[in-house]
Amino acid sequence: MNGLINYLSCGLLWLGLIVRAPDLVRHRHDPYLRAICAVLGLAGACFFLGAPPTVGAVNHLSGTPNLAAPLTYASITAYSAASQVLIVYWRGGPHVHRVTRRWIVTYAFVLLGIAVTFGLGDTPVERRTDFDTYYATTPFVAEMIVLYLVGHLAAVAVTTVSALRWARQVDGWLRAGLVTLGVGTLCNAGYSVSKLVAVVARWCGRDWSALGTTISPVAAGLGAFVTVTGVLIPPAGPRAAACVRALRTYGRLEPLERELDELLTRRALRLPRPRWASPGTRLVWRRTSIHNALGHLDALFDRTLYDRTHEAVLRETGDPGRAEATAWAAVVAAAVREERERAAGPDRPVPAPDVTDLLQDRSPDPDLLVRVAAALTTSPHVTAARLAPRGTAASGTA
């Protein structure tokens, strides 16, 4: 398990980066997308560089004991800056570029300070997990540790306050993302706070290194995941909601397609079923099949049956929407029966012109199709329409 959680966390974060990469390639000049990808990439780098096996490999390959420490601290610092820059670009305003430049320059100096103080310090003994507390009293190295921890704490504090304050002014997916981001950065603060407490305890002659080796990794992992989730909610939330709506509508249209299935198969009106397709594509396929069948049945739609069923259901329920859906379901069911009989007996006469062209006058919209599908399975009027001779009204109650 040594480092496994770090690598799994890194893999998930970089998987998110890979998912966002195509958007970045198409819109490479979008600073918001660049900031999102930077947050994902740097968050993954923090976990990767902080894993004990990676720490040992970096130290061994470089020949410098504990070189992995400043590299990890630098990635944490860069991640902190990227999170704050993301908030700035996210919110926008007239001084976006000026504010982001200030953050970038400030944390560039922090990165420089980490490099300089590590170079001036002396860390001959490799420490893979408790570097902070072990060298908390070493000249220059102690300053490096405090510098990156304070820089990290300042960034997450500002990000938390900015995100939660802004969340009160917006709503919807943006608000959900900001609240999640604020909670994530607040969890992230637990990383630097626990490390700072352990370092101060070391200055006071006490050994609280367990804070830095147990609590801070948990806080960092939880904070990173929640933060990245908050970053992804605003762009991904509407897409996920659209997929859920498409799946729900796809399923609700199934009774209508099942009613038309024999016609679709016999007349070859259905396009090939998409095997690997998004819910939206599947929904378009099902709607297309339904519309193809309705267009084929147009000449068989009984206007008289529609009007009588609509009037009967409206009288019974007082609901115009339900009356319209039930009337459509009745004429579709009757037309399917009529088409089946005509296919079995080709010599049957074509309906008179005064009962045709209903589809041209009152074509059902997508929402109505869903209600029609429901009426096919629940309305006695539809059952009666399947059995009654053409031109007679359906009987029953809605």
pLDDT value of position 395: 46
Locate tokens 């009426």: which residue? 375
Mean pLDDT of 301-330: 91
What pLDDT shows up at residue 360? 55
271 φ/ψ angles, rounded to the nearest 5 degrees: -70, 160
**Most trustworthy range by pLDDT among 77-86, 223-232, 315-324:** 315-324
Top-confidence residue, 4 or 130 = 130
- Position 374 scores a pLDDT of 93
Predicted pLDDT at 356: 47
Residue 222: its pLDDT value, please?
A: 84
pLDDT value for 150:
92
What is the percentage of the chain residues whose pLDDT exceeds 90?
Answer: 36
Q: How confident is the model at residue 4 (pLDDT cuts 50, 70, 90)?
A: confident
- Only one residue has tokens 């990469």, namely 21
Q: How confident is the model at residue 391 (pLDDT cuts 50, 70, 90)?
A: low
Q: In angstroms, rounded to a whole number, what is the distance separating the alpha carbons of residues 133 and 292?
A: 72
Q: How high is the pLDDT of residue 355?
A: 44
Mind listing the pLDDT tens digit for each residue in 73-101?
999 889 888 888 888 887 777 788 888 88
> What confidence score (pLDDT) does residue 203 get?
93
Q: Is the pLDDT of residue 394 over 60?
A: no
Whole-number average pLDDT of the chain: 86
DSSP state of 163: H
Indicate the pLDDT class of residue 145, thresholds 50, 70 and 90.
very high
CA angle (128 as vertex; 123, 129 as ends), nearest 5: 115
Q: Residues near 1 by Cβ (< 8 Å), separated by ≥ 6? A: none
Rounded Cα distance between 364 and 321, Å, is 11
User: 83: closest CA among 159, 15, 184?
Assistant: 159
- Split at pLDDT 50, 70, 90, the class of 347 is low
Tell me the per-residue pLDDT of 332-341, one tens digit each, with 9 for 90 and over: 999 999 888 8
Q: Which residue has the higher pLDDT, 167 or 224?
A: 167
Q: In the numeric block, which tokens belong to residue 371?
A: 């209600």
Tens of pLDDT, residues 350-365: 555 444 455 555 567 7
Distance in angstroms (rounded) separating the CA atoms of residues 16 and 307: 54
| pLDDT score of 141 | 93
Half-sphere exposure of 152 (CA within 13 A, CB side): 33
Q: How far apart are CA 371 and CA 172, in angstroms?
A: 28
Question: From CA 98, how far away is CA 155, in angstroms rounded?
Answer: 17
Question: Cα 239 vs. chain centroid, distance in angstroms?
Answer: 6
Q: What is the pLDDT of residue 1?
A: 46
pTM: 0.73
Tokens found for residue 164? 């939660």
Mean pLDDT of 151-160: 89
Percent of the chain with pLDDT over 70: 92
